[in-house]
Amino acid sequence: MIELPFDLTLREISQICEGKILQPKNDHYNFDEIKIKYLSFDTREQVSECLFIPIKGSRFDGHDFIEEAQKKGAKATLFSDYEKVRKLNLSIPCVFVEDTKEAFLKLSSYIRKRVNPLVIAVGGSAGKTTTKELIYFVLNSSGLSVHKSKKSFNNEIGVSISMSSLKKDTEVAVFEIGTSSLGEIEKLTKFVEPDFGVLVSYGKEHLEGLRSPELVLKEETYLTDFVAGKGGAVFINIGVDELKDYFFRLNSHKKVGFLMPLYKNHNKISKAEPLSIVGAELLKMLRTDFVLVYPRDVSRKFETEFGIYVSFSDMKKEFYIRTNLAPHFGSNLASALSVFIFFFHYIRGEDFEHIIDMLQSINFFDFKNESSRFNVFDLGKFIVVDDSYNSNPLSLSALFYSAGFQKGKKVFVIGDMLELGEFSEIEHLKIGESASMYLEKDNSFFFVSGEFEKYMEEGLRAKGFQVSVFKKNDELFESLRRIHFDFIFFKASRARKFDIIVQDFINNFKPS
């Protein structure tokens, strides 16, 4: 159930959604007197006093539950399937719309405009949720009234839920915008109308729907193109070559670059001078504001001290932040710091030194990431890392990068990276190449499973890694009992349900 920030009459909702209200057969309602405060999509949750919105999905149709919603006290319902609804015995008002999902998006966009917070939209191939959570965390720590999208709500329904659940007093809203096919980001961006656009990463993702890496880049950069076009501020990861080139081409007076360089030799990073990390050539090009983040020290539980170098206008500052973030989250942290500094300096007019003091007063160990996103469990004899929420070539490489900071024996339990289309086989073969950039072959053991297991196995063996294929948890656990390890990492696409394997492992695995 969603609580709206203000009441709307049923007539207002009908007008906003471009719908038509139908009276029940045996009743007559005054639609200006029916006040809607709550929305619901699921009859398993609270429906009483709600406007019911039946959504058609791939496995269900909400229209099949309209009568149940009525029995449970729904005030009214939207609908788009006239043939289904005309056969129902309904006594509540019904609002006919062409598409209930589209109608919900229109309604939520109206709410966003009426509340009128400063809206920050986060896009990218990987790391959107962590970035959104970090931006929310730092801004909320400053005392602002900040709203964020829940979990990874970044598709049409998720964005609609996020906008419609704004509070009256929301000053800043942070939303994710995702895609799986061409045109999704354009559609969502136009409804969200962000004031700030954050592009945190670029890589091969959703290639079944987006078809090529070039189209992925075009799709992802629509967000920042839109924001720059309306005079808003854009924040772009210039540590990625394709995004760096895009950043310098983008015509905007309000753009901030952020980056965290990835280096193969982890031992040298903590000793490096911050500006030498990015290289002289890039620094010459940086005539705009930027934030550089680099890992200086990493604990056994992946608690990282980051070095921060900030350059805004003529103001430059170097400082350090200790966090509970793994090293590869440095670019996510950099994006959040960029937004924080820009907001308080250019929007609120705060003194630069005061802004840095505000940042340094934040306890980053209070930050809680969403589940299965590099969640660390210390089981005494070894560390378990659950990164099973999702996987693509970019995020898997990031996991290897962070793992490379640790000494000791490491086990990687890896499943399929899905939605890569015609690139699936080659990208699974390339896992060995990605792992070899950051991991020592003698101390890294791989267990692979899934539709593309043979390609993972072949690619890893070609780079000299030890690899086993497993089919069942018991088989995996029995193999693990025969080896000593200090760290074990789990990662796969969400559909492979590796989070279940992780819980089974934590609850039931007993080393020999």
What are the structural domains, with CATH classification, of the chain? 2-100 (3.40.1390.10), 116-366 (3.40.1190.10), 375-508 (3.90.190.20)
| Structure confidence by residue, pLDDT tens digits, 329-345 | 999 999 999 999 999 99
How far apart are alpha carbons 78 and 103 in whole angstroms?
Answer: 9
Query: Which range, of 56-70, 251-265, 431-445, averages the lowest pLDDT?
Result: 251-265
The three-state secondary structure class of 232 is coil
The pLDDT of residue 271 is above 50 = no
The pLDDT of residue 283 is above 80 = no
Per-residue pLDDT band at 270 (split at 50, 70, 90): very low
Per-residue pLDDT band at 206 (split at 50, 70, 90): low
Per-residue pLDDT band at 313 (split at 50, 70, 90): confident
Q: What is the pLDDT of residue 235?
A: 98
Q: What is the pLDDT of residue 26?
A: 67
Average pLDDT, the chain: 93
Q: What is the pLDDT of residue 208?
A: 74
The three-state secondary structure class of 320 is strand
The pLDDT of residue 490 is above 70 = yes
b/e per residue, 328-345, with b = 16+ CB within 10 A? bbbbbbbbbbbbbbbbbb
The residue that leads in pLDDT, 298 or 24, is: 298
Q: What is the pLDDT of residue 502?
A: 97
The residue that leads in pLDDT, 278 or 102, is: 102
The pLDDT of residue 269 is above 80 = no
Query: Which range, of 211-220, 285-294, 315-324, 472-481, averages the lowest pLDDT?
Result: 285-294
| Structure confidence by residue, pLDDT tens digits, 221-236 | 999 999 999 999 999 9
Q: What is the pLDDT of residue 23?
A: 82
How far apart are alpha carbons 295 and 331 in whole angstroms?
Answer: 10
Sign of the four-CA dihedral 95, 96, 98, 99 = positive
The three-state secondary structure class of 308 is strand
Q: What is the pLDDT of residue 267?
A: 52
The pLDDT of residue 445 is above 60 = yes
Per-residue pLDDT band at 275 (split at 50, 70, 90): low
Q: What is the pLDDT of residue 210?
A: 76
The pLDDT of residue 280 is above 90 = no
The pLDDT of residue 282 is above 70 = no
The pLDDT of residue 9 is above 70 = yes
| Structure confidence by residue, pLDDT tens digits, 147-167 | 999 999 999 999 999 999 999
Radius of gyration from C-alpha coordinates of the chain: 25
DSSP secondary structure of 114-157: HH--EEEEEE-SS-HHHHHHHHHHHHHHTT--EEE--TT--SHH
Q: What is the pLDDT of residue 322?
A: 97
Q: Span 11-27, mean pLDDT?
A: 90
Q: Which helix (H) or strand (E) holds 51?
A: strand 50-52
Q: What is the pLDDT of residue 268?
A: 47
b/e per residue, 111-141, with b = 16+ CB within 10 A? bbeebebbbbbbbbbbbbbbbbbbbbbbbbb
The three-state secondary structure class of 80 is coil
For the chain, first and last CA: distance in Å?
Answer: 48
How far apart are alpha carbons 187 and 304 in whole angstroms?
Answer: 38
| Structure confidence by residue, pLDDT tens digits, 456-478 | 999 999 999 999 999 999 999 99
Q: Span 129-138, mean pLDDT?
A: 98
Beta carbons of 400 and 435 less than 8 angstroms apart: yes
